[in-house]
Amino acid sequence: MERFTVISADCHGGGAIDDYRPYLPSSLHEGFDRWRSAFRNPYGDLEGDGASRNWDSDRRLAELEADGVVAEVIFPNTIPPFFPSGALVTPAPTGAEYEHRWAGLQAHNRWLADFCAAAPGRRAGIAQILLNDVDDALGEVQFATEAGLTGGVLLPGVPPNHEIPPLWSDVYEPLWTACEELDVVVNHHSGGGLPTFDVADPAARAVMLVEIPIYAHRALWALIFAGVFERHPRLKFVLTDIAVSPDGNTLAVAGFDPLSSALPSAVRFLDAATLAELRTMPTESSVDGLAYSPDGKSLLAVVNGRKGILVWPLE
């Protein structure tokens, strides 16, 4: 029987809230304690028995091995200090919020470096950055390189009409230069860069779900039209929830079926050159990860609610 070496390119993890305190500057400890006492976690899965798989190294390794996964790329999942929710979906900070939010992300990055060091060669942690201050972001790119966070950095999306310059702005040129020269991967994850939606309103929530794929790809469009990849041909840019066929001709994209009013989960196959849709394959539940087999004849998927890796024949 053919065997695959499975490395998850879209795992998520992070520290327990109190675990971040030692990684903050001592000048912020008192402020952290006040924030911590008033904070209420909005995510039930970060409060129950399953929460510790985010930060318990031994449990995480054992559960990944049980699923046949030998290594992982780690995106953030828990709540950094001074954030109202997970950093992936929290709106970009205002100038007044920046100092504390930035310290919170730095605490996460330093915790993550230690977490990855506990399993050498098996965890590629992704450092988080903010775009309010490009010099600060450059310093964190350097830290990620020196600390062995081999997953690269997570590029935040910028919502339309925000006070932070859009991603096509020349202000980010030093960031692209640094990532290219240091061979740091620039990652972008769906959920970032969304405008503010009142998710308690069913209509607003439905619009958000439909538009998530737009904002998930918006960063790529910005960099393409700004000529970033022409000026920096060695820059590595990674989008989540997309798999590229071995011959480079087809993209498999996880998401929703845009032709269905019920928004069932689906994998869409696109022509890589034109982005024309080739076909849509409905799935029984949301797809959390995709990868082609080396011969391109199968699509490997992690499906929400299903244990292990599913293998779908394509021929």
For the chain, list the domains and their CATH numbers: 6-240 (3.20.20.140)
Task: Tell whether the model's pLDDT for residue 257 goes beyond 60.
Answer: no
Whole-Å CA distances, 242 to 168, 174, 212, 260, 282 = 22, 27, 14, 21, 16
User: What is the per-residue DSSP string for 221-241?
Assistant: HHHHHTTHHHH-TT--EEETT
Over residues 154-210, the pLDDT tens digits come to: 999 898 888 899 999 999 999 999 999 999 999 998 877 888 888 788 888 888 877
- Higher-confidence residue: 278 or 205? 278
Q: pTM value?
A: 0.85
Given this model, what pLDDT does residue 214 score?
Answer: 80
- Beta-carbon contacts of residue 292 (< 8 Å; ≥ 6 apart): 243, 244, 245, 246, 252, 298, 299, 300
Given this model, what pLDDT does residue 140 score?
Answer: 98
Over residues 92-149, the pLDDT tens digits come to: 888 899 999 999 999 999 999 999 999 999 999 999 999 999 999 999 999 999 999 9
